[in-house]
A and B are shown apart, each in its own frame.
Chain A
Amino acid sequence: MNPGADRGEFRKPAKVRARGQLFRKYVTLFAAVVAVALIASSAIDTWFSYLEQRALLIRMQQQQAETAATRISQFIKEIESQMGWLTQTPWDNNSLEEWQFDSVRLLRQVPAITELARIDATGHERARVSRIAVDVVGTRTDVSRDPMFVQAMANKRYHGPIYFRRESEPYMTLAIAGSRPGYGVVAGEVNLKFIWDLVSEMRLGMQGTAFVVDSAARLIAHSDISLVLRNIDLSHLAHVQAARISDAPEQGTIAKSINGQSVLTASAPVPSLGWTLFIELPVREAYAPLYASVLRSGALLLAALVLAVLAGIFLARRMIVPIRVLRDGAARIGRGDLTQRISIDTGDELQALGDQFNSMAEQLQDLYSTLERKVEQRTAQLELANQAKSRFLAAASHDLRQPLHALGLFVAQLRESAGVKERSHIVDRVDAAIATMNDLFNALLDISKLDAGALAPKLSDFPIRQVLRRIETTFAGAAREKGLSFRIIPSDAWVRSDSILLERILLNLISNAIRYTQSGGIVVGCRKRDAWLRIEVCDTGRGIPEDQHQKIFGEFYRAGEAHQGTGLGLGLAIVDRLCGLLGHPIQLASKVGRGSRFTVMVPAVQPTGKAVDAVPVAPVAIDRFRDKLIVVVDDDPLVLDGMSSLLRSWGCRVLTAATGDGAIDDIIRQGSVPDLIVSDYRLPEGQTGFHVIAKLRGAFKTDIPAFVISGDINAEPLQVARQNGFHLLHKPVAPMTLRAMLNRMLKSDNVAAPTAPS
């Protein structure tokens, strides 16, 4: 057998069976309990009623038997005593008529006697009176040897055997001796049909019989006369035998009757005759009421069982139906139908359970809908972010297009115009456009860096004073030019932050303030509140409407419809991101026409040690670039051309390599070691500037200073540069930035060279 298939087959019916099991269990249990109780009670009841019925029957039969036996006995005794009157005197022929008269009267009084005979003391029959035959007198028939006479004389009375006249008339000779031996004997022929009448008149149920047997167990009388006529010997019957043996035989035994029927018997001796009277009642009839009661009990039991099963079904249904409702409800909830509610109205624990299920489902549903709402919100947020990104890109490209467009126009102008003065004017304008673009790219780069998480704040404790001082230096001139008052309230507080990034935040805020303030001034102050230092930048600008308070932190937001041309619209976006990065809450309080106040909350700390001032920027020394050999690698010929022109104008020697290994090999071949390598980041054939630098360094076996310029806006080159310890500039690189980097690279080279142990 395949065990897998077997299991598969087995599982299904098991599940089906499990469905109705509880129900069937309840019904079966209920029915069984009721059935056991009923069966037990009716069995006990039946048993006791059987005993009672039996006892009653036996008692009744016994009484009937005794009554009948007594009546028979009395009947015979009556005959005997009547006959006794005829033997009061000895036989005397002279009193024949008198005796005849007495006899006739006796016959009249005792119908059972058919004939009477008078026997004298010598055993001679002297007279005979008959109902059916002619009376006989004057005879002297000798009966002295007759057992009748002998026994009557000996025992005072004689009961002869049963004999039949005319085949069908049972008779017995009854003889009574006189009170004295000389009185002789009176013999009567007694028709025992009177006993039979007596026996057959007994009411013994439908099929009950009574019979009388003599001492020899011969049938004397029976309800069925035909049996008597057959002169039957009944000594073989068990109860007859028992009665013959014992004086007080057990009553109510069950025995076989003459015709083989099972009968309940009772017997009573007929006093003084040695006869026994039996009463037989067929067992079937005797116990008929019992059978009926058993049947009745059975029917009742059946009815009760049916009732019990019905009640069981009813109760089990009451129990099971709510359980099934629970199960189905739970199953539906399990399948995810959380609107499902279980409706049980039984008012018991099951209802409570159902209610529990319902509240559980409700909570699940709440949770589920909360989750759904959150997912929806997130999706909406993502969508919004996406849209913002798109908007950002559109805005950024628009803002880049403007200076580009301007540049195009200026270049065209340059070609046309020949005047030196005019040219220098145009070049100034070109510078300005480039500066704008540069600013824009720097800002974009900042945002990109912040969004990419590439900027890791370096937290340190420092006095806020340092930052404030630098800001003052930076903006004092600009504010003065615009005719604004600019005041910084000094503070001795220390804060925990990244000083560079915090400075950037404040720079942005203050440059914004100066930009949007036409009159009045700007105040920067610090306030300590609990664990925070609130750095406030207040201006007297035009203020920001309430509904714009959030929007101003978005990219490319510019206050007011009119484009001022000076702002990029990225300042506050950067501020917002930086504050988020540093964990400095930023607040805005502003009213249109009443100025604005930006508050940056910085964690305040206890002053610790000595403040380290930022390294001042060294003055630029042009001479440093003189005759330096600089290798420029870029796959764009235009860039190569621009870069080499610019570097040569600064007095550098320039070697350019357009692409790939060939150009690099040329540089290596020319022999002299370059002072600086400037390479584009992304080069053809999957190469990067780092490869080129590494190759050149390898070729010249020296750690030539180098930096990379990248046109990519994403964070990857920056990360790679950091990992390799390179500096990276982003295109477009302003000439000033380039110069600053050159300065830095070559200076460190100069400084490093003498200190290096060579």
Chain B
Amino acid sequence: MRRRAIFRLIAGAPLLSWARAASTQPALKTVGVLIALPETDPSVSARVAGFETGLREFGWSAARNIQLRYRFAEDTAQLPRLAGELVASAPDVLVASSGIVAAALLRHTRTIPIVFVTTSDPIGDGLVTSLARPDGNVTGFTNSLSTMGGKWVELLKQAVPDMSRVGMIFNPDTAPGGGSYFLASFEEAAKSNALRGDTLPVRTREEIEPTLTTLGRAPGPGLIVVPDNFSALHRDLIIAQATKQRIPAIYPFRYFAAEGGFMSYGVDLPDLYKRTASYVDRLLKGAKVIDLPVQASSRLHLVINLRAAKALGLTLSRTMLARADEILE
């Protein structure tokens, strides 16, 4: 061994570096990334940028030592096919943008490590059995505790003190626990704030408009949008209808507010992409999934869109404004 090292020294550095470059060429790592949003979705570029920035911080460069295979689903129906394709290309690590994407991938492989960028209830959705020691091939980051259902109600009530009725919209097919995950805290908070709390399950895009139209006709309406791939996919319609029906709504991610939503309270998604990169790095370097606990995001951001507030004819209290981490003018 030492002799070989000495030989290397004698053989000369230029030859050595050339040999190393040649030898690492075939060892190019591949990472499959499946995002359940169209490639044209405005939030996609931020997600990809966050992920690749994170990878670069760990020394992975798409041009040099890593190959990133992105697949974008315009519809959740496409997920099984795309997941199959991606798994068939046998990447070293798979990245799932959300819980349902991870589930789709998990149906095709039980060996390739899968990192989900964000989901709410990985245990409830059957992705992992333990957060501290995931014993399958899936790990990742969570965004919202179940108590967040109550928190959203509280925050929305603080922002809109004269709200009397609050609805929680979700797709039972894609939402955590079929929509039940946040339900308890939601209902409790509604009760303690003397609000009428309604669950608004929708399964298709088409159902969104009538549902919100109905909610908008009620006095003092409010809307909770839970983190759900469905709501992310159809946020344009949800935001547009909420604005149209003059319903103050609170969303789980900043980009909802950035795209016209009234306010958002939740994790920093691009930050989660960066943290996903750290897990991808460790997995590519040989770490086991079981050693990578499912981590909760510790940063929650309150974002208020003042223009949307103005459109809704709302004036925000001093406390509310003080509480906001970001105010969009």
Contacts and interface: CB of A to CB of B under 8 A. Distances in A.
Determine if chain A interacts with chain B. yes
Contacts of B300: 131-132
A744 interface: no
Contacts of A669: none
Given A132-B300, A169-B296, A303 B325 contact: no
B17 interface: no
Given A132-B151, A295-B5, A168 B296 contact: yes
Interface string B142-185: 10110110110110000000000000000000000000000001
Nearest to B300: A131
Nearest to A300: B9
Interface stretch (B23-31, B286-294, B303-311): B286-294
B2 A108 contact: no
A229 interface: yes
B145 A132 contact: yes
A298 interface: yes
Contact of A105 (B9, B133, B192, B322): B322
Contacts of B296: 165-166, 168-169
A440 B144 CA distance: 164
Contacts of A135: 154
A369 B113 CA distance: 103
A298 B6 contact: yes
B293 A225 contact: yes
Nearest to A296: B9
B52 interface: no
Contacts of A100: 319
B298 A133 contact: no
A130 B150 CA distance: 11
Chain A CB count within 10 A is highest, among B10, B132, B153, for B132
Given A104-B319, A104-B323, A134-B185, A168 B293 contact: yes
Contact of B2 (A107, A165, A295): A295
Nearest to A136: B192
A111 interface: yes
B67 interface: no
A749 B131 CA distance: 169
B20 interface: no
- Size band of the interface chain A makes with B: 35 or more
B299 interface: yes
Nearest to A134: B150
A254 B291 CA distance: 26
Nearest to B145: A132
A273 to B, nearest CB: 20
Contact of A134 (B5, B131, B192, B319): B192
Interface string A291-302: 000011011001
A101 interface: yes
Contacts of A685: none
Contacts of A193: 295, 298
Chain B CB count within 10 A is highest, among A107, A112, A226, for A226
Chain A CB count within 10 A is highest, among B6, B188, B293, for B293
A167 B293 contact: yes
A224 interface: yes
Chain B CB count within 10 A is highest, among A97, A101, A167, A296, for A167
Interface in B1-53: 2, 5-6, 9-10
A133 B132 contact: no
B153 A134 contact: yes
A166 B322 contact: no
B289 to A, nearest CB: 10
A134 B132 contact: no
A596 interface: no
Contacts of B318: 101
Contacts of B298: 111-112, 114, 169, 191, 193-194
B48 to A, nearest CB: 23
B100 interface: no
Contacts of B151: 130-134
A655 B322 CA distance: 190
A104 B147 contact: no
Chain B CB count within 10 A is highest, among A97, A169, A303, for A169
B147 A133 contact: yes
A117 B291 CA distance: 34
Contact of B6 (A104, A194, A295): A295
Contacts of A101: 318-319, 322
B177 to A, nearest CB: 16
Interface in B83-120: none
Contacts of B133: 226, 229
B5 A132 contact: no
Contacts of A97: 319
Nearest to B10: A299
Interface string B112-139: 0000000000000000001111000000
A580 B292 CA distance: 133
A42 to B, nearest CB: 13
Contacts of A299: 6, 9-10
B239 interface: no
A303 B296 CA distance: 58
B189 interface: yes
Contact of A133 (B9, B130, B185, B322): B185
Nearest to A111: B299
B6 A168 contact: no
Contacts of B9: 295-296, 299
B130 to A, nearest CB: 7
Nearest to B324: A108
B185 to A, nearest CB: 7
Contacts of A225: 293, 295
B162 to A, nearest CB: 18
B189 A134 contact: yes
A226 B154 contact: no
A226 B283 CA distance: 14
Interface in A111-139: 111-112, 114, 130-135
B148 A167 contact: no
B322 A108 contact: yes
Contacts of B153: 134
B145 A166 contact: yes
Given A108-B322, A191-B298, A224 B291 contact: yes
A230 B293 CA distance: 10
B189 A168 contact: no
A284 to B, nearest CB: 13
A26 B144 CA distance: 83
Chain B CB count within 10 A is highest, among A111, A114, A131, A165, for A131
A229 B293 contact: yes
Contacts of B2: 295
A167 B132 contact: yes
A302 B131 contact: no
A376 to B, nearest CB: 70
A104 B319 CA distance: 8
B294 A168 contact: yes
A187 to B, nearest CB: 18
Chain A CB count within 10 A is highest, among B144, B185, B298, B319, for B298
Nearest to B189: A134
A302 B2 CA distance: 13
B157 to A, nearest CB: 10
Interface string A76-109: 0000000000000000000001001100110110
A100 B320 CA distance: 11
Nearest to A107: B323
9 contacts: A100-B319, A131-B151, A132-B300, A133-B185, A165-B296, A168-B132, A169-B296, A230-B132, A299-B6
Interface of A: 97, 100-101, 104-105, 107-108, 111-112, 114, 130-135, 164-169, 191, 193-194, 224-226, 229-230, 295-296, 298-299, 302-303
Given A165-B296, A168-B296, 12 more contacts: A100-B319, A112-B298, A132-B144, A134-B189, A164-B132, A193-B295, A194-B298, A224-B291, A226-B292, A226-B293, A229-B132, A295-B5
The 10 closest A-B pairs by CB, nearest first: A134-B150, A133-B147, A167-B131, A167-B132, A299-B9, A168-B293, A226-B291, A229-B132, A104-B323, A134-B154
